[in-house]
Chains A and B, each alone.
Chain A
């Protein structure tokens, strides 16, 4: 177990609805990254939050947004859901420091979102 938790585990929504997914990072970690994993594919980077600010974004439209809270937990919000948003949404936490060394990302179990 990585210590990264996500809720809910499964979720079913309909097209046009909005959804909020939650992630609690591993104790001591200050950075959360969100990934979308479609069926049979590798995870794709959505965005990263560091100290409550967005710190990089992948090729996802603005209807994908996020928040990071002072306790470093995070939310992923998706508006105007589309069928293609059906996927496993993963969050990963890491501790980013002042050095330029890569910091290992620890993944949660994911939230399975189905859009009907």
Chain B
């Protein structure tokens, strides 16, 4: 299994839709997980951190299933401004640098 795997998409959804992205990881010892957002030709920026079973921030919910080594990101009531690439991120075994998935592309249409 690759260190971090994501469905690359693209996901094309209408405004107001709910969309979910999935991610699997190989390092069973990982204690923290992250979703980063990357806009086209811009740098990645932290969207959410996940340290226990899940985290919710407004329209965004991240869930963690340690037994299945699976992380998800749910976006409710999608906005045009949510269009971006969402990167699933797991710290490397050293604990400092990050392993990024390839990213899932989301396009929210009017």
Q: Do A and B originate from a single complex? A: no
B residues sitting closer than 8 Å to A (CB atoms) are: none
Binding site for B on A (CB under 8 A): none
